[in-house]
Structure 1
Amino acid sequence: MAITATGLRKSYGDHVVLDGLDLRVPRGTVFALLGPNGAGKTTTVQILSTLITADRGRAEVAGHDVARDPHGVRRAIGVTGQFSAVDNLLTGEENLLLMADLAHLDRREGRRRVARLLDRFDLVDAAKKPASTYSGGMRRRLDLAMTLVGEPRLIFLDEPTTGLDPRSRHAMWQIIRGLVADGVTIFLTTQYLEEADQLADRIAVLNGGRLVAEGTAAELKRLIPGGHVRLRFADAHMLDLAAEALDGSSRDDADLTLDVPGDGGVHQLRALLDRLDDAAVEVQDLSVHTPDLDDVFFALTTERTAPR
């Protein structure tokens, strides 16, 4: 396992931020931690990356005990936080070379890694320009490239695409997929549920400092009821006929729609349309609605105000 945590607890005064958190993250995967503001996501990352200590509990990261061997943890990981660590006064290349110096790489090896990362992150043309001139997407790519100078096998990405436009976000997703293909483990926190759906092998939902659900995106979606087929009709008469033919459906007279509970699979749709044909009902429009991660998020979490 890349990460194992048992019974992690953290409080600030009377406020409990983490309340007995257990985690297991396999190597070479993307593990996403979701939750509302104040759920404890950033605190979890800070404990696992040795930035703060837990009050109770135990954790191992990359085979090193977080409390007993924090230096071992730091040598094995990279951290990209919510806010960029880029130095605006330096060029992109200089930022990377600084990280190479901090990683105690010799000059030749440092320059080799920097050149490779500039190419990988599409920053060659901007390498000699001050980071202050970079767009938001370029800054996030540079920030992640700086994390990779030390070639960590486990990377914490704390909301890495916050504030990015859709094109830049998708570019960052491609970079993350490439890292995982190379065997890197990604621990991701994000406010974008689509991001977790797209990237994560497993997703954990944190609420009030406790883990309330964990599984693949598909497994979490199956926890939530509410799938249905929505039928729209041209007039109230057709809506009445359909409501009579389809017991258990719910109608909206204003929108002339009928919602029929179900998963919207082929067999259900075929049977549904056959029943409507038998009742001489004409459907103007049909759409299938299944629960998504938004539904999971809202069903499992509550908004909470907290300092972290």
Structure 2
Amino acid sequence: MSPNDSRSNSPSDEEEKAELLLIQKKKEEREERARREAEQRKAEEEAEAAAEARLAEIRRKKEEKKREAEEKKRKEELERRKAEEEAKAAEAAKKMAEEAKRNEERRKAEEASKAAEAASMKAEMERRLNTAALVRAQLEKKKKEIQVQSPVSEGSTVVAGKKRKRVTMVVVPSGDPEGGDPNPGDDDDYIESDTDDDEDPEVPPTSPPKQSRCSRCILKAYKCELVGPGSASCKGCRKAKVRCSLVPDDYPRRSKRVKVESLVASTSSQVIDDLRTNIRDLNTRINLQEEMLRYLILRVRKLEEANREEDEEEEESEEDRVKQTGDRKGKGRKE
């Protein structure tokens, strides 16, 4: 070192160097502090970024779990709806099957009832026809018997009960104004017994007096006359079963008479007329029953046709419902 240099190292230079060193030191301290602050900020930023990343990951996982739960819930809801639809479809199919079965049973029962009713009506008609045929046969038989039999003549013997009695018939000509029957054949004739029987009162030898009209007679359309000789009543009173006013009070109530049944032509004609009337009534009723049977047969046929159409409509509607149920099932599976 030269002497000039030693002289130049004055206190002011020392101070300047010290100041420079101090400034340098402060600068380094600032730089060091700035570096540390930068590192700290960087670390804080990195920590903040890491925290944000973790938070984002947590949120993502949370959202993912939420989506999974919602997806699971939606699938469960779809499964539940599908099961409900299948259960409803099965229940509807079961109800339709039961309804179809009930309808079939009801239809069969109705058909059986209609068949039984038709059979009953047919049997009734056959019974009526058989009855009419029997009546006709009886009428023919009666006609033949009447044609074969001969009228009772005077002096003939008639069996009454277990006694054989000799009888005498007194015949009054038809149209006789004194005592004849204006309508021959309407009533039975009576004959008087000649047997000596103490039990029965004697018949007066003559008929009771007559008058123009009986006060009690129920037949007012023609002149009242006694039924026949020896009778104790006019026609109307005999039908009404009352005491005839044409007969005196002292006239016996009944006399010993033997009734001849359906052997005289007049009586036979009345029986035949009654039988013919009955046959006409039977024929009329048979015709009415036949008309009713035909009407019921037509009605049964119409009801069967209506039931057949109703069954076809029910089958078509059932097929449509089954088809709609299948479409809903396919749609549910697609969903």
Please state which band the TM-score falls in when normalised by the shorter chain. Answer: under 0.3
Please give the TM-score of this superposition, normalised by the length of structure 2.
0.23
Relative contact order higher in (CA < 8 Å, ≥ 6 apart): 1
Please give the TM-score of this superposition, normalised by the length of structure 1.
0.24
Q: Which has the larger helix fraction?
A: 2
Q: Which has the larger strand fraction?
A: 1
Q: Which has the larger radius of gyration?
A: 2
